[in-house]
Amino acid sequence: MWRKIPDWLFYLIIVILIYANSNRASEKIDAPAPPPELGEMLPSESPRDERVIVNVPKAQSGIGTAFAIDNKGHWMTARHVVDSCSEVGINIGGRKVLKTTAEVSPDTDTAILTSRWKRQPLANDLYSDRQIGERGFFFGFPQGRPGEVVGSLLARNRMLVRGRYKSDEAILAWSEVSRTKGLFGSLGGLSGAPVMDVDGEVIGVVSAESPRRGRIYTVTPENLRTLITSYAGNPKPLTLQSYGLQADKLRRDRRIAQVVCMVN
């Protein structure tokens, strides 16, 4: 013969079940975002690579981003940021700008800045194969203020530069998937910034963007090999949860800094 379950025990069982289910729901919500869907390995350059035409206007004063590439006072930025500038400087904090000399590359959208200011370089990985769909993290000063963007690798393209100077080089195309909260519109000012892989290593330099298509274009790792010495360093892995904090730290340490171009 069945005995009636006491009311207090019945309600206790209900409370326990509700608590258990809420914990499972919380665990699901707080779980990290799934990794990107990776595709095939990035193919080598091909005559069939999509062409991207970029017009570089007449030189004018502006800003960009640079990052330390050794501990001897050398920095890297994009060529179009400093090409034809009367003076180039690195913002080392507040309103303090340290004058530098710039040597632009004739073949890629890169330039080396030389200064008396020495910082620890960023680790790089310029020899590993890249994979379609992998994440890239872009740290710099979009629109002149600290900010960052996350992209997904799409393909290898070819950039044809026209206007102030001409060049023809292979680039990587990324689809933007996330950016700093409150950052809208153009990413101007991010040019010259490092693009880093999930291991926290530099694999390129921001060169151009296509806001209409949601694309960011970067200098290929292959084109950086003769410009940057391989450096393992002690990089911090990057995730969608941690990349903002790591970007802030690199900017605070001035290993990533703002570039100022003055045109008389």
Architecture of domain 51-262: Beta Barrel (2.40)
pLDDT in the model for residue 39: 83
pLDDT at 14: 41
Average pLDDT over residues 159-185: 94
Over residues 39-54, the mean pLDDT reads 94
* Separation between Cα atoms, residue 1 and residue 259, nearest integer Å: 85
The rounded distance, in Å, linking the Cα atoms of 22 and 162 is 59
pLDDT score, position 43: 94
DSSP 58: S
Spatial separation of the C-alpha atoms in residues 262 and 86, rounded to whole Å: 6
Q: Name the DSSP letter for residue 8.
A: H
Average pLDDT, the chain: 88
Instruction: Give the residue extent of every domain in the chain.
Output: 51-262
Report in angstroms the alpha-carbon separations of 154 from 157, 177, 214, 219. Answer: 9, 12, 11, 14
pLDDT range class, residue 35, cuts 50, 70, 90: low
Q: Which range in 21-25, 44-48, 96-100, 201-205 is most confidently predicted, on average pLDDT?
A: 201-205
Q: What is the CA radius of gyration of the chain?
A: 23
pLDDT digits (tens, 9 = 90+) for 56-99: 999 899 999 999 999 999 999 999 999 999 999 999 887 899 99
Residue type, 50: E
pLDDT at 29 over 60: no
Confidence of residue 171 (pLDDT cuts 50, 70, 90): very high
Q: Tell me, what's the pLDDT at 204?
A: 98
Please write the tens of the pLDDT for every residue from 123-140.
Answer: 999 999 999 999 999 999
Ranges 16-20, 105-109, 126-130, 227-231: which has the least confidence: 16-20
Residue with tokens 């209900």: 14
> In the predicted model, is pLDDT for residue 152 greater than 50?
yes
What is the distance between the alpha carbons of residues 163 and 178, in angstroms, rounded to a whole number?
31
- pLDDT tens for 1-26 read 434 445 444 444 443 443 334 333 33
pLDDT at 197: 98
Q: In the predicted model, is pLDDT for residue 243 greater than 70?
A: yes
Q: How confident is the model at residue 206 (pLDDT cuts 50, 70, 90)?
A: very high
- Residues 6 or more apart from 169 whose CB is under 8 A from it? 107, 108, 109, 158, 159, 219, 220, 223
Q: How confident is the model at residue 36 (pLDDT cuts 50, 70, 90)?
A: low
| CA atoms in the 13 A half-sphere facing the CB of 188 | 7
Section 173-183 average pLDDT: 92
